[in-house]
């Protein structure tokens, strides 16, 4: 009888953990003080994101130059094909990688996604064709954001989660404030080979940081497999969620809103730097300055303005306001032909 009560109590604590993953620890763990650096936190996730996208930000100018030199007649078309293949592969693999991270933990998949995302970097100077081929295929594992958000969810309260996600997004923007400008400057003063070498070194530093400093956020005893459960195929199927969308009108409406919002954004992000340089006439330094300004404004919005708007206007009106500004921005990009 006592064993049954103890078992029920333990199960209850595990269920509580599923809604707040920061509260449940075994009695043995509660008696042992944990060093702050050994405890998973949002800051571990932000460092991983910052280093990865800082490395890629350095390559903004060199990659545009190499793309234009490799495909001089079909620059925009090939850019779209490369980004399209990468995005489609990410769509197919993201649910499976997320499900497997529930089995084997977040840390190993953080390392895996960062490694495969950054593998193409050194190829930029050795062989452009291999660089673009690997860049396309790397989409299979280029889902660092998905694993990072899962990591953040593991180590934050429900009430703090939206703020933590905003911090991760702001860190991504912050990584782009200085890296393109630094890459353009180093490429002008030294050479693009120096920029690629630095980006490769930062990518290696990111992997070393994950190996040495990032603690696992999902203990083995709290993974479904440890309870004797298997991972269902539905969880790894990228189309299963799409089939369930129509069951709830509210979810369907939100999905349509997100799809229609992200569709033009994805097109903009995939070719904006190329468009600015080859159509509007920006040089490398001006593209870098543009990215820095946009990144700085994004950090301000993600950390300060967004929180203020949600508190003042509410979620629905904040979304409507953001979509209005997005429409104006895209119209401005589409009609503009001059530098100013």
Residues 6+ apart with CB under 8 A from 299: 170, 173, 174, 177
Report the distance separating Cα 60 and Cα 304, nearest Å.
28
303 part of a folded domain: yes
Q: What is the pLDDT of residue 230?
A: 63
Q: Give the residue numbers spanning the domain of 113.
A: 39-216+238-247
Q: Give the residue from 148, 117, 121, 118 showing the smallest Cα distance to 214.
A: 148
5 part of a folded domain: no
The model carries a pTM of 0.73
Q: What is the pLDDT of residue 17?
A: 43
- Looking at the fold, whether 194 and 272 belong to one and the same domain comes out as no
**CATH code (residue 70):** 1.20.1250.20
55 part of a folded domain: yes
SS3 82: helix
- Looking at the fold, whether 278 and 200 belong to one and the same domain comes out as no
Q: What is the pLDDT of residue 37?
A: 58
- Looking at the fold, whether 140 and 69 belong to one and the same domain comes out as yes
221 part of a folded domain: no
Instruction: Yes or no: say if 184 and 58 are a contact pair by the CB < 8 Å rule.
Output: no
Q: What is the pLDDT of residue 127?
A: 87
- Looking at the fold, whether 135 and 278 belong to one and the same domain comes out as no
Number of domains the chain contains: 2
- Looking at the fold, whether 311 and 187 belong to one and the same domain comes out as no
pLDDT along the chain (340 residues), means of 10: 47 44 42 57 91 90 85 83 87 83 85 92 89 89 86 82 80 81 84 92 95 82 55 69 76 83 76 74 77 79 80 85 86 73
- Looking at the fold, whether 161 and 253 belong to one and the same domain comes out as no
Report the distance separating Cα 58 and Cα 66, nearest Å.
14
Burial degree of 248 (CB within 10 A; 0-12, 13-18, 19+): exposed
- Looking at the fold, whether 207 and 262 belong to one and the same domain comes out as no
- Looking at the fold, whether 125 and 207 belong to one and the same domain comes out as yes
Q: What is the pLDDT of residue 204?
A: 96
- Looking at the fold, whether 212 and 138 belong to one and the same domain comes out as yes
Q: What is the pLDDT of residue 224?
A: 57
Instruction: Yes or no: say if 106 and 151 are a contact pair by the CB < 8 Å rule.
Output: yes
Burial degree of 261 (CB within 10 A; 0-12, 13-18, 19+): middle
13 part of a folded domain: no
184 part of a folded domain: yes
Q: What is the pLDDT of residue 199?
A: 94
CA dihedral 193, 197, 203, 209 (to 10 degrees): -160
**Ramachandran region, residue 228 (left: φ > 0; alpha: ψ -120 to 50; beta: rest):** left
- Looking at the fold, whether 168 and 269 belong to one and the same domain comes out as no
171 part of a folded domain: yes
- Looking at the fold, whether 257 and 206 belong to one and the same domain comes out as no
Exposure of 258 in the CB half-sphere (CA atoms within 13 A): 7
230 part of a folded domain: no
- Looking at the fold, whether 243 and 270 belong to one and the same domain comes out as no
């Amino acid at each position: 009888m006592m064993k049954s009560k103890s078992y029920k109590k333990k199960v209850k604590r595990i269920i509580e953990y599923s809604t707040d993953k920061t509260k449940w620890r075994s009695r043995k763990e509660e008696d042992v003080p944990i060093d702050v650096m050994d405890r998973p936190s949002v800051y571990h996730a932000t460092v991983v994101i910052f280093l990865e996208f800082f490395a890629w930000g350095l390559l903004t100018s060199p990659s545009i130059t190499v793309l234009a030199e490799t495909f001089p007649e079909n620059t925009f078309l090939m850019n779209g094909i490369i980004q399209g293949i990468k995005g489609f592969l990410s769509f197919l693999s993201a649910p499976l990688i997320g499900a497997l991270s529930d089995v084997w933990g977040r840390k190993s998949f953080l390392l895996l996604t960062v490694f495969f995302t950054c593998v193409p970097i050194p190829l930029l100077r050795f062989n452009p064709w291999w660089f673009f081929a690997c860049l396309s295929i790397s989409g299979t594992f280029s889902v660092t954001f998905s694993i990072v958000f899962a990591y953040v969810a593991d180590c934050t309260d429900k009430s703090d989660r939206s703020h933590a996600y905003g911090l991760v997004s702001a860190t991504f923007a912050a990584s782009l404030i200085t890296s393109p400008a630094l890459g353009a400057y180093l490429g002008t003063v030294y050479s693009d080979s120096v920029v690629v070498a630095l980006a490769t070194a930062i990518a290696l530093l990111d992997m070393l940081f994950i190996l040495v400093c990032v603690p696992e956020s999902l203990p083995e005893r709290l993974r479904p497999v440890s309870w004797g459960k298997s991972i269902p195929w539905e969880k790894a199927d990228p189309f299963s969620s799409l089939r369930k969308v129509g069951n709830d009108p509210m979810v369907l409406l939100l999905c349509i809103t997100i799809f229609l919002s992200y569709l033009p954004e994805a097109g903009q992000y995939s070719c904006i730097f190329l468009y600015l340089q080859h159509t509007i006439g920006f040089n490398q330094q001006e593209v870098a300055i543009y990215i820095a300004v946009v990144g700085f404004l994004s950090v301000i919005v993600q950390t300060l303005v967004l929180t203020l708007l949600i508190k003042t206007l509410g979620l629905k009106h904040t979304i409507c306001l953001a979509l209005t500004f997005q429409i104006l921005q895209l119209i401005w990009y589409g009609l503009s032909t001059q530098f100013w």
